[in-house]
Amino acid sequence: MPGNREVSAAAAILGNVKVKNLSSTCRLAGIRTTAELLAEGKSASQIETLARQGALIQVRRGVYARADLAAQLVARSGGDHLLQTAAALAVSGLAVASHQSAAHIHGIAVLGKWRRVTLTRPPGRSKSAQSGTRLHCAQLPTEHVTVCHGMCVTTAARTVVDLARTVEFRAGVVTADSALHQGLVTMAELESLLAGCLRWPGSRRAAEVVAFADKRAESVLESIARVVFRDCGLPPPELQIWVGGAVAVGRVDFLWRRFRTVVEVDGLMKYANPARATLQLERDKRLRDAGYEVVHLNWQEITENPAYVGTAIKAAFRRATRPAA
């Protein structure tokens, strides 16, 4: 959550309708532009000396950060992107962090990797982007912008919708599921925001993503798997359900109750611990003893061989519903 100073700054900024950068006193890692350092009384030669001595580091052309604070930030996972985003915002006028960069700031999962900072600027402004920055132009209603870590950023709901409008369906589902699962947004908030941007490019795709999203999905792989199940023509499963015999054996990733079939999706590290692998085998046996078919699918199968996924699950359906001999 933003601190009191950030909240005050945000109120002042957003109250003006047009979004502007936060005051430099609120910026991450003490970021300053060259112009701001000069306005504070430092000469060009003093700035060069501070950078040479290691008190300041140049994050990008014309933007400096306090070296000690920047070092602490980049030591954290994803800290370098936060630093680059704060630096880009310092020289971007009315732009705010959005799309993948906003998702990173909010802690929302995205599918795939990206390097560039992503910003959005209101229409009618210059469309030129800095090096290493991708610039979108779109309306920025005040209720779609917030402040996080000293940066103006699209809200979690706007971030989900923006990505759902601009990325492939399964990537949009990954982001929507993640935001809902963490409680960063509600379905009502997403639907309300969508209602206000029905004529925006990609809004139909975004509506499909939101309708499909499910807060019960607990990982990127589970979200992708749900899309694969749909594309294979499988009925929607129940998610995160306790199943078993007279006494529940455990909570499973996916359950097709009608077909008494359980699917578990296994991340790359799920069985790195041999003891954990043994427990999983014992759990599978108890589920099968209780009358359930159990199918395990890994990342490679789900992302690279969806036809196999559909075939394996449909075969389990047939085995589970086959009359007893």
Strands 151-154, 145-148: pairing is antiparallel
Task: Show which of 56, 71, 86 is a domain's final residue.
Answer: 86
Look at residue 18 and tell me whether its pLDDT is greater than 60: no
User: Could you say which of 86, 118, 134 is where a domain stops?
Assistant: 86
Same domain, 138 and 244: no
Give me the helices (H) in 54-185, please.
67-74, 79-90, 99-106, 156-166, 169-181
Residues 205 and 273 in one domain: no
Report how far residue 255's alpha carbon sits from residue 261's, in angstroms, rounded to the nearest whole number: 6
* Residue 222, in any domain of the structure: no
The answer on 302 and 181 residing in a single domain is: no
Q: How far apart are CA 69 and CA 196, in angstroms?
A: 40
The per-residue pLDDT for range 183-196, each reduced to its tens digit, is 999 999 999 999 99
Per-chain mean pLDDT for the chain: 88
161 shares its domain with 268: no
Least confident of 37-41, 132-136, 214-218, 315-319: 132-136
Task: Give the chain's domain count.
Answer: 3
CA-based nearest residue to 68, from 30, 25, 111: 30
Domain boundary among 86, 117, 140: 86
Q: What's the pLDDT tens digit per position in 61-84?
A: 999 999 999 999 999 999 999 999
pLDDT tens-digit series, residues 256-308: 999 999 999 986 555 566 777 778 888 889 999 999 999 999 999 999 999 99
- Within a domain: residue 170? yes
CATH of residue 263's domain is: 3.40.960.10
Helices (H), 153-297: 156-166, 169-181, 187-195, 203-212, 220-231, 274-289
Residue 97: pLDDT band (50, 70, 90) is very high
**Do 4 and 127 fall within a single domain?**
yes
**In terms of domains, do 191 and 246 share one?**
no
- The reply to whether 124 falls in a domain is yes
Host domain of residue 251: 232-321
The verdict on 4 and 28 lying in the same domain is no
